[in-house]
Amino acid sequence: MDVTKMFNFDELTNSAEQLVLEELGRQLEEREGDACISEDSVMDMATYALNHVRPMYRVNLLGRLYADTLMEEHGDEVRSAVREAIEKICSEYR
């Protein structure tokens, strides 16, 4: 059974991705002018951080409302994963 042909998965979203990208932007702003910030390195940072946080999928309105509280609940995990990603990737690009 090919469920992707039977059902619409367009609304299935990993909220962790949005949280990681927002936090990555905040932390990179603090490092403005850093030589390790390029398209490739930032994509690697996002990938690294996403692989180190729990996925937070949502699909409906209730899930969207719940997603608004995720940063409060998972903020430390996201901030830590992003900080580690930046340190790890920047050390590789230097």
How many separate domains does the chain show?
A: 1
Each residue's pLDDT tens digit, 23-43: 999 999 998 777 788 999 999
Domain that holds residue 46: 3-93
pTM comes to 0.83
Q: Which of 19, 7, 13 is nearest to 59 (CA)?
A: 13
CA atoms within 13 A on the CB side of 10: 2
Question: Two tokens at 60?
Answer: 């409906």
- pLDDT tops 90 at residue 94: no
* Averaged pLDDT for residues 60-70: 64
pLDDT at 67: 58
* Span 72-90, average pLDDT: 93
